Each structure stands twice: as C-alpha cells, then as structure tokens.
Amino acid sequence: MLLYTEILKILKSKKFFIALIITIGFNLFYCWFASNYVFNKSVKYSQQYISDTEKKIKELEQKLKKEKDDKIRRMYQEQIDELSRIVQEEKLKLQYGSNPAKEMEEKAKYYKSMYKNAEKTGNYKELEIYKINYKILSENIKMKKYYSDGNQFDGWTYLNSQSYGIAFFIIVILALLIGSGIVSDEYKEGTAKLLKTLPVKRSNIILNKFIATVLTISALVIGIQIIFFIVLSIITNSLKYYDVYCNWISKYKVIGFKVYPVLDNVRLLNLLECSLLQLLIEIIIILAISGAIIFFSTIFENGAFASISFFAIIIAISIFRQKMLILKTPILKLLSLIFPWELATVYTNSLPGEIEWIYASSYIVIGVNLLLTVIFVLSSIKIFKYKEKV
C-alpha cells in the first residue's frame, strides 16, 4: 500500500511529466542525430577521415623514430596499430559499401592475416583483438548473415549504443528530477512527521521510496528503450539479426584489475544476448544511482542541496577516473567501477582498442555497485531514524 502511494505520488508530480518529456525527447534527438550524422557517413567524409588519419599515423611514426624511452615508444606503436586498423576498415567500407557480404569476407581475411602476424611477433594485445574479431566475422559469414553493427541505425545498434554514456546520462538526469526531493520534500512540506505516525517501520518508509524511485526510472529508461527498439527494428526489418554475433565475449580471465579474453573456446555473444546484458547493466546502475540520490535526499531537507551534492559526486568520480587512467594507481582503479557511463567498456567484455583499460569482470562491477546500493539505502534509513530523534 505504501509503495503504491509512493509510485502514485511520483506519477502525479510535475517532475515525472518533465522526466517523461526529457527521456522521449532525448531519445528522439539521439535517433535523429545518429541516423543523420553518425551512421550515414558520406563517401567524401570517409575519404577525408582516411586522409587525416594517415597523416596522423605518419606523424606518430616520425615521433616513434626519434623517441628513446621504451614505454613511450610502445604507446606510440599501439596508437599506430589502432589507427592503421581503423583506416583499413574504412577503406574496406568504401570499397565494398554496396556489398556487405564482400566487405565482411574481406575484413575477415584482413583480421586473419593480422592475428597471424601478431602471433609471429608475440604482440599479445593485437593477437587478442584480431583473433576474436576474425572469429566473430567467420561465425556470421557461416550463417550468411552479413550484418555489420553500426553500418545502419536500427534497433540493435540503438540499444547497444546506449551503453556509451547515453543511458547513464539519462539515468542521472531522471534521478535528479525524481529522487532528489523524494525524502527532503517530506521535511519541506511538513509531512515527514505525519509519515512517522503511520503504523509502519521507519526502514519501510525509506525502502518504499527507494523501490518507487527504481521502478519509475526503470520504466522510463528501459520501457522507452524497448519501444524505440521495436519501432526501429520494424522500420529497418532488423529483428531477424538477433543471432548475429557482436564484438562481445563471455569468457575471460582476470589478472589483478585487468581482463584478458580467453583465446581457446571463447564464447561469443550475439546481438540479443548483448542487448539483454545491456538492460541488466542499466538496472544495476539505476539501483546504485537511486540509492545515492535517496541518500542525499535524506541528508538534506532541501532538494536543491541534495541535487548539487549528488551531481558533485558524479563530477568528482569523473575527474578521478581520468586521473586514474593516466596514473593507473591500483586503489584508484576501483573508482572506474562506480557509476560508470561507458557501460560496454567497463561492464561487458567488448574489445575496443585498449584491452588494458578494462579493469574488472562484470561480476566484480555488479557486486561493487550492489554493495554501494545497500550502503546508501542502509545509511538513508539510519539518518531518517536519527532525524526523528532530533
């Protein structure tokens, strides 16, 4: 009954209506922007991009020749290798843009030759990237499903692209709108004392507010994502690609904070599995973010102060994460597991260019954020009870 009342209170508020408009509006804008400026690159743009990247590669090669420090030389070489791979992929897109089957076959040949070369030179990082990508393309070619994630803006591309900061950004905005005043407004409006006269445990009051916040944000974020996914998939006829393999893997080994994919018997994840994992990840983030905003809303009797404090924490973690990526201090690496926005990089086992930037398995990350959620909620209950005595 109390949970129903809390949800109803949120749904009837102006903040919920604003949150709904923001969520739908942002998703519409993102779809328009992505389809027009990100996923439909013109030939001229690709040619210019290749030209600029090749110039950058030459500059890096010049720096590499002059540099004597082995660590910096390795860094330059890694950048050259990564940019060279991107250039080759762009050239294949230009050459076989109208023939995706041929593009995938040629790309598979390229990856195979590169991982064989990396095997000979003992370049572990390049070996991992090229061998896994070759296996992904080979599996898709066997199924005769020539789908290249990102070549067209469809439902699958939309859903998986949410992992790169977009979903996190929306979750934070919704948490600020819906959760910042969920407890503090009770004090502001003088209804907190009335709540404490109800025949329910004080902990249940906070728990129900937390659950109501989680359910509301989840419905807005995930519910609208599913609607957009279905509509885009129907428009582009892409639902049939559910079993196409993506560049995510499910087996890996963790050495310290670093994750390395297992070369032998690696299990690839298809688009459906990646999407389900993405939705699970978002739920975990919603739990942690909701716990944090409830915590600050319980501390401050002013919703504005709660919002500012919560936002300051997000900014602080952002700054520390950037420092951490440069310094790579072991203890600071834990900060990359808290409120991550690049969900595909931190949570899943995707293979971007930099394997060493992935610090922990999804189990560790999910565990840390669930622990953080419990700490926030229990702290909120404790503070709420303490304020009752004051």
For residues 267 and 251, the answer to whether their CB atoms sit within 8 Å is: yes
Q: Which three-class secondary structure state does DSSP give residue 39?
A: coil
Kindly report, residue by residue over 326-346, the tens digit of the pLDDT: 555 555 666 666 777 666 655
Calpha distance 136→247 (Å, rounded): 7
* Residues 209 and 73 both lie in one domain: no
Whole-model pTM over 0.75: yes
In whole numbers, what is the pLDDT of the chain averaged over residues? 80
* Residues 18 and 109 both lie in one domain: no
* Residues 68 and 28 both lie in one domain: no
For residues 346 and 340, the answer to whether their CB atoms sit within 8 Å is: yes
Residues 224/292/372/21 CA torsion (nearest 10 deg): 10
* Residues 84 and 227 both lie in one domain: no
For residues 246 and 149, the answer to whether their CB atoms sit within 8 Å is: yes
Point out the domain boundary residue: 142, 161, 191: 142
Kindly report, residue by residue over 137-189, the tens digit of the pLDDT: 888 999 888 876 556 788 998 988 887 778 888 999 999 888 888 777 766 66
Calpha distance 348→171 (Å, rounded): 19
Phi, psi of 263 (to 5 degrees): -70, -40
For residues 141 and 147, the answer to whether their CB atoms sit within 8 Å is: no
Half-sphere exposure of 99 (CA within 13 A, CB side): 8
Kindly write down the DSSP assignment for every residue of 284-298, as one continuous string.
HHHHHHHHHHHHHHH
DSSP state of 240: G
Point out the domain boundary residue: 106, 123, 142: 142
* Residues 206 and 351 both lie in one domain: yes
For residues 129 and 353, the answer to whether their CB atoms sit within 8 Å is: yes
Calpha distance 230→23 (Å, rounded): 17
Angle between helix 271-299 and helix 166-179 axes, rounded to 10 deg = 30
Kindly report, residue by residue over 27-85, the tens digit of the pLDDT: 999 999 888 876 666 667 778 888 999 999 999 899 888 888 888 888 888 788 888 88
Nearest of 378, 317, 368 to residue 347 by alpha carbon: 368
Q: Which domain, by its residues, includes 253?
A: 2-38+151-389
Number of domains in the chain: 2
Q: Check residue 223 and give its pLDDT.
A: 94
Neighbours of 212 (CB within 10 A): 25
* Residues 163 and 96 both lie in one domain: no
For residues 287 and 174, the answer to whether their CB atoms sit within 8 Å is: no
Nearest of 342, 339, 377, 381 to residue 358 by alpha carbon: 342
* Residues 194 and 335 both lie in one domain: yes
Calpha distance 337→282 (Å, rounded): 14
Would you say residue 260 has pLDDT above 80?
no
- Residue found by looking up tokens 């006269």 in the block: 197
Q: Check residue 71 and give its pLDDT.
A: 82
Point out the domain boundary residue: 142, 175, 201: 142
Q: Check residue 253 and give its pLDDT.
A: 57
Half-sphere exposure of 235 (CA within 13 A, CB side): 14
Tokens of 78: 């890694």
Kindly write down the DSSP assignment for every residue of 7-52, as one continuous string.
HHHHHHSHHHHHHHHHHHHHHHHHHHHIIIIISS--HHHHHHHHHH
Would you say residue 286 has pLDDT above 90?
yes
Helices within 300-361 (DSSP H only): 303-327, 343-346
Kindly report, residue by residue over 293-318, the tens digit of the pLDDT: 999 988 887 778 888 888 888 888 77
Q: Check residue 321 and give its pLDDT.
A: 64
Determine the distance from the C-alpha atom of residue 283 to the mean position of all C-alpha atoms in its chain, rounded to a whole number: 12
Calpha distance 318→165 (Å, rounded): 12
Phi, psi of 373 (to 5 degrees): -60, -45
* Residues 209 and 311 both lie in one domain: yes
* Residues 10 and 73 both lie in one domain: no
* Residues 270 and 358 both lie in one domain: yes
* Residues 183 and 127 both lie in one domain: no
* Residues 180 and 316 both lie in one domain: yes
